[in-house]
Amino acid sequence: MSALTATSGFSAARQRRRRAKEPLPWGHPFVYFIALVVIALMLAPVLYIIIGGFRSNSQITVDPAGWPDPWNVQNYLAVLTGPQFWQQVLNSVIAATGTTAGVVALGLMASYVIARYTFRGRGALYALFAAGLMFPITVAITPLYIVIRDLGLMNSLAGIILPQIAFALPTTIIILVPFLRAIPDEIQEAAFIDGCSRLGFFWRMVLPLSGPGVITVGILAFIGSWNSYLLPLFILNNEATFTLPLGVQAFSSQYSVDTAKVLAFTSLSMLPALVFFSLFERRIVGGLTGAVKG
């Protein structure tokens, strides 16, 4: 009887492995049609802006939905050779890099304390950070403007980096705390037995094991800072400190009659974020769904 049970169990396991190797069946064609329609609706505005930059103003006026005939690269060359675009790119890179570094450093340290230490009020502290998700920067923009003004950080990149770090910390901590809690206690105990201090355990073990989560929050912070518009709009009044979102608005106002050049500037401004997000999309998904294994 036991041999029969073992044989049946082996057969069932072999059938499960065979089914796992089989390709997934195709779904209903209507589902794919809806998916293609949604993808087309999302990509159509982006493609229109990019292709519109290769057209002339007369072509856009005569046939707004037509193809460039002939293709004109002068709009893109004019933007790339101008000083405004590259200065705003540099400002955006500085703001996004500073925000990402601050978010990752502070968020990882705060998450480590909440996840690995036992102290009174730990749950309340975690709930306080979680409650920060309910207060977007739009709600606090007026008092935030007053604080930044009183600190003397107006018209400076530091005036947007510090608030962006503060408002990105709740999301960072919510993502990182589960990663750090999933580190087995046996690893920590073995490290302490080998003479590793708490700080050494943090640098040697916590950082490598929480890599997927750190990469995820870093990417989200970078993209959020790169696309930020409302906060720089209130803080930055000098064109020399404009980031790319503000630069698009200023360029659109300055060249309002040159639609083709505005489309070229807009497409060049959004391409870095699109490329960056496309390259690290799997990292984001893996960081949000993955877990640390001991």
Q: Is the peptide bond before 70 cis (omega within 30 degrees of 0)?
A: yes
Q: 142-150: long-range contacts at Cβ-Cβ below 8 A with a sequence spacing of 24 or more?
A: 144/231, 144/234, 145/234, 145/235, 148/235
Supply the pLDDT for residue 195.
80
Supply the pLDDT for residue 11.
53
Q: What angle do CA 245, 249, 255 make, to 5 degrees?
A: 135
pTM comes to 0.79
In whole numbers, what is the pLDDT of the chain averaged over residues?
82
At 237-269, the pLDDT tens digits run: 888 889 999 988 888 888 888 888 888 898 888
- Report d(CA 276, CA 31) in Å as an integer: 29
Q: Which residues of 196-222 are buried (b: 16+ CB within 10 A; e: fewer)?
A: beeeebbeebbeebbebbbbbbbbbbb
Q: Taking 60 as the threshold, does the pLDDT of residue 20 lie above it?
A: no
What is the band of 58 on the pLDDT scale with cuts at 50, 70, 90?
A: confident
CATH architecture of the domain formed by 83-289:
Orthogonal Bundle (1.10)
Supply the pLDDT for residue 292.
41
At 149-189, the pLDDT tens digits run: 999 999 999 999 999 999 999 989 988 888 888 878 788 78
Q: Taking 60 as the threshold, does the pLDDT of residue 9 lie above it?
A: no
Supply the pLDDT for residue 289.
58
In the predicted model, what is the mean pLDDT of residues 28-42? 86
Beta strands in 90-240 (DSSP E): none
Using a pLDDT cut of 90, give the percent of the chain over it.
18
- Report d(CA 205, CA 52) in Å as an integer: 51
Using a pLDDT cut of 70, give the percent of the chain over it.
86
CA nearest neighbour of 171 among 209, 232, 223: 223
- Report d(CA 172, CA 106) in Å as an integer: 9
Supply the pLDDT for residue 286.
61
Supply the pLDDT for residue 91.
93
- Report d(CA 283, CA 212) in Å as an integer: 7
Q: Taking 90 as the threshold, does the pLDDT of residue 200 lie above it?
A: no
- Report d(CA 20, CA 258) in Å as an integer: 57
Q: With beta carbons less than 8 A apart as the criterion, state whether 99 and 226 touch.
A: no
- Report d(CA 270, CA 287) in Å as an integer: 24
